[in-house]
Structure formats: C-alpha cells, structure tokens
Amino acid sequence: MGKNLFNKVWDLHKVASLSETRDQLFIALHLVHEVTSPQAFQALRERGLKIKYPERVVSTVDHIVPTQDQLIRPYRDDLAEQMLQAIEQNTKDFGLRFFGLDSDSQGIVHIIGPENGFTQPGITIACGDSHTSTHGAFGAIAFGIGTSQVRDVLATQTLAFERLKVRKIDLTGTRPRGIYAKDLIIKIIAELGVRGGLGYAYEFAGPVIHALSMEERMTVCNMAIEGGARAGYVNPDQITFDYLEGRPFSPKGAKFAEAVAHWKSMASDPDADYDDVYTLDVTSMSPMVTWGITPGQAIAVDQTMPVIAELDEADVEITEKAYEHMGFEEGGKIEGKKIDVAFIGSCTNGRISDFRAAAEVVKGRKVASHVTALAVPGSRKVKQQAEAEGLDKIFTEAGFQWRQAGCSMCLAMNPDKLTGRQLSASSSNRNFIGRQGTPKGRTLLMSPAMVAAAAVEGAVADVRNFI
C-alpha cells in the first residue's frame, strides 16, 4: 500500500512522539493576523521567549481593518486601533515579516499566502484562524489553531497534535454550466453534514477537482472546516506548479525544477491507503444555496426547504432553530426570497476569478434599488488586478460599492455589518446566527456569481438564467 499526501507530510514534519496519540509537529509556515495573536506575543514577553524561526512567519492585518478609509488613522473604533497598534508593535519588536497597511501585499491572510508564493505543496501550515484549510489547495497540510497554540508555534515552531484520519472525496462526472467551486463544497457539506469530517482531513480528488483552477481549489479547501474536517487538500499537479512559478516568494530558476520534483513526490501514491472514500457525481448538480444557520443546511436553488416531519430525529432541533431564526416557511422555496444585502468577498471567494465570474453576471445590469451591494477584494493585489481589468467599473456602474481589501462583512469585527433582521446573500463561509454583525441578521451562502444574480434580481435567483 502506498502513502497518502497527508501522512507523507506528517512524517516529514514530525519532531517527536509526545504520547501514544500526540505528536510534536513542525510547522513550516506560520501565518499571523491581528485578532488571535496579541495574547500570544504577550505570553512570549512574560516568559522572555523569542520567535524560534522568524523567517517562517508571515503576518498581515485583515479582520478589523475598515474597507473604506482604511489608511486614515487613528481608527474611529478605539479597540480596532489598539489591535492594529499591537500587531504593528509586536511584529516590529519580534522582527517578523509584516504586510501591514503600508504594504502592497496586505490582505486576507489566506489570500496573500498563496498569491505571494509562501503557500507551497508538501508543507505544514498553521494560523490562528479556522479557514487555514484554504492552503490545502496546494497540497499543504494546513489547519487553524487557537491562541495558546499560536504562542507555541511562535516560541517553538511546533505544535502538539494528533494525526488525523484521511477521507478521499472523489468528484466524478462533468461540472455543469453555472456550477462553481463554491457549489461543489456546499454540496459536499450538505451531503456529509457539518460533523461528517470530525477527526478527518479531506483529500479532494477526482477529475472534477483536478480540472479546477488553483483559485477554485482554494474555495473548496477553505470550507473543509465547515464540514468538520480540520484540514482539506488537493494533490499538487501541473496546475499547482504553473500557479506557483514566478510568484515573489516561490523558488526561482534551477531551484524551481528541484522544488517541483520534491512536490510531485509528496502527492498521494496511486495505491495510497485511505480511512474512508466518498464519491459524488456532480453531473446533474444545480447551484447551491444555504437557507439555515449552518453551512450544511443547503439546498439546490431550484429545490424546496425541508419539511421537519420528514427529517431524521437528529436534525429536527437544529432545523427548527433555523426556521425560527430565518423566518422561512417549511417546505417553501428559497428562490425569490427578497434580499437586503449582497456581499462578494472573503477568503472563500475574494480572489480575482471570483470577481470575474460575478462581473460576468453584473455587466450591463443594475443592482435592485432596495439592495446594498458590496464588492470587497480579498487583497490589495486582487484589487489592483481587478481595476486593471476594469472590473471595478462594471461593479460600480451596476450599483455595487467597490471597497478596500479586508475580511469585511464575513464577520462583524469591522464597520461592515448587517443591521436588524437584514437578509444577506453572501459569498463568505459562515451563516451562523450573529456572524454578519447583528444577532438577528440572516445569511444565505452561495457562489459569487449567485450573489451577483441575487443583487440584480433583488432576490435569490438562479444564476443559470444570467449567464
């Protein structure tokens, strides 16, 4: 039996066994942002510890920064200003690479890692953020950690961790028109459940996955965590290597060829062993949209919402809670539900290909008059590229606000928030109660093209009628 990528990476990075089930794992790349790091730096100071390998740490600011007037300091929000000052000071005191507000490379941590070439195949990556799974798109083993672990990685470049099981998720068939990477991962979560991945890393495989661009693979891996899987990855292939060639921090010249040979050797062997295999044929899929309060409460846009009496016992309570919060009627249609806000952005769908796909829908059309629509690039580089292609004009002419890079309305830590009971069509990754800024706010997750269609229609719409 051959080995899968997960176990190859694990074995290469294993430092020691700590107990029967726990290993000390070396973290090749540590990504740091302003929200989950200040207490970790403080802990280092208190113990007089240094950063073990500063060259393996990359930091930026994304969660709290406003997406309007981002450079006007101090921020009106004192607490945000304090956090920003903390990371500026910490990265300076500890000598870390920092893509702050004065850098052209600032942006959401999971977007700038890949676009600068830090994220590479066959390495371990950790970050104090659950969507670190994004980086798995490159064939890295990447997972989110808490602040105590951020401290551990800063001080030792290692973590105490249990080896995960690996489930191979084989996507077969052909991807229909109007079905984007986001639809694929929402469908997987709806099928396997939000707890289905507990204890697992997901290996996304099969012809449908390997036909995806790197940006699309990032969208899929980004939401592995929403299916309960701590990490998700795709084996590196030529598309991966082509993406990495020429990035600012990827290997150059002869070193690149050497790197590619190593990266290829890290991919799962053809006869690799898995703890579980799941196969899904995507040929007859329709665009997906969540209707409830977990990412697994999702249906095809042309389907109706569940009837509680027909559900498994285990799903009844959360479904009742979802209906109560969303105010939707059992068995009703999701298509046609009037929305108040449209949000395109986040580490799930804030990359250039996402804005291209949404612009294709928006072009020559107008956002419905009752809808507030935000297009928020995930990084400054994405913003620049979009502007070079004239996408910003397409969005603003249609009535979208074109913003500066940051997490924005994905979570309520900056000025971009829902108000009251607003219903938002969002390209982000979480529809939890309160996630987008008000306890009563409601979120429908969907692909950026579907968000664009909803913005134009003023209600949930089937993007296939717009492209």
Partner 1 sequence: MSANPAAITTIQGRAIPLPGNDIDTDRIIPARYLRSVTFEGLGTEVFKDERFNDDGSKTDHPFNDAKYEGAAILIAGRNFGCGSSREHAPQAIMRFGIKAIIGESFAEIFAGNCTSIGIPLCTTDEATIAGLHKLVQSDPQVEFTIDLEAKTVSYRDKTISIDMNPAARTALLAGTWNTLDELLQNEAAIEEVHRRLPSFV
- Between strands 57-60 and 200-205, the pairing is unpaired
Q: Where are the beta strands (DSSP E) in 237-363?
A: 276-281, 288-290, 298-300, 341-344
Residue 285: CB minimum distance to partner 1, A: 25
By the rule CB under 8 A, 152 interacts with partner 1: yes
CB nearer to ligand SF4: give 407 or 463: 407
Residue 467: CB minimum distance to ligand SF4, A: 25
DSSP 300: E
Place of tokens 């790349």: 29
| Binding residues among 308-367 for partner 1 as defined by CB under 8 A | 317-318, 321
By the rule CB under 6 A, 435 interacts with ligand SF4: no
CB nearer to ligand SF4: give 251 or 350: 350
Q: How far apart are the first and last CA of the chain?
A: 46
Largest CA distance in the chain: 63
| Binding residues among 112-151 for ligand SF4 as defined by CB under 6 A | 129, 131
CA 374/CA 381 separation, integer angstroms: 18
By the rule CB under 8 A, 412 interacts with partner 1: yes
By the rule CB under 6 A, 436 interacts with ligand SF4: no
Q: Of the ranges 200-208, 279-287, 379-387, 403-411, which one interacts with ligand SF4 (CB under 6 A)?
A: 403-411
255 binds, among ligand SF4, partner 1, none (CB under 5 to 8 A by kind): partner 1
CA 189/CA 219 separation, integer angstroms: 13
298 CB-contact burial (10 Å; exposed 0-12 / middle 13-18 / buried 19+): buried
415 preceded by a cis bond (ω within 30 of 0): no
| CB contact at 8 A, 359 and 449 | no
By the rule CB under 8 A, 158 interacts with partner 1: yes
With CB under 8 A as the contact rule, the residue among 6, 10, 26, 98 that binds partner 1 is 26
Q: 3-class SS at 217?
A: helix
CB nearer to partner 1: give 186 or 459: 186
CA–centroid distance for 373 within its chain: 20
412 binds, among ligand SF4, partner 1, none (CB under 5 to 8 A by kind): partner 1
Residue type, 185: I
H helical segments located in 288-408: 313-326, 346-349, 352-362, 380-388, 391-398
| Binding residues among 37-96 for partner 1 as defined by CB under 8 A | 38-39, 42-43, 47, 52-53, 55, 63-64, 77, 79-80, 82-83, 86
With CB under 8 A as the contact rule, the residue among 69, 93, 148, 390 that binds partner 1 is 148
Q: Of the ranges 204-212, 258-266, 349-357, 387-395, which one interacts with partner 1 (CB under 8 A)?
A: 258-266
Q: Of the ranges 13-21, 202-210, 212-220, 406-414, which one interacts with ligand SF4 (CB under 6 A)?
A: 406-414
Per-residue burial over 53-90, b if 16 or more Cβ lie within 10 Å, else e, is eeebbbbbbbbbbbbeebeeeebeeeebeebbebbbeb
By the rule CB under 8 A, 249 interacts with partner 1: yes
By the rule CB under 6 A, 182 interacts with ligand SF4: no
With CB under 8 A as the contact rule, the residue among 32, 57, 112, 129 that binds partner 1 is 129
With CB under 8 A as the contact rule, the residue among 145, 301, 344, 382 that binds partner 1 is 145
By the rule CB under 8 A, 419 interacts with partner 1: no
| Binding residues among 54-83 for ligand SF4 as defined by CB under 6 A | 62-63
CA 80/CA 208 separation, integer angstroms: 42
Q: Of the ranges 193-201, 367-375, 380-388, 405-413, which one interacts with ligand SF4 (CB under 6 A)?
A: 405-413
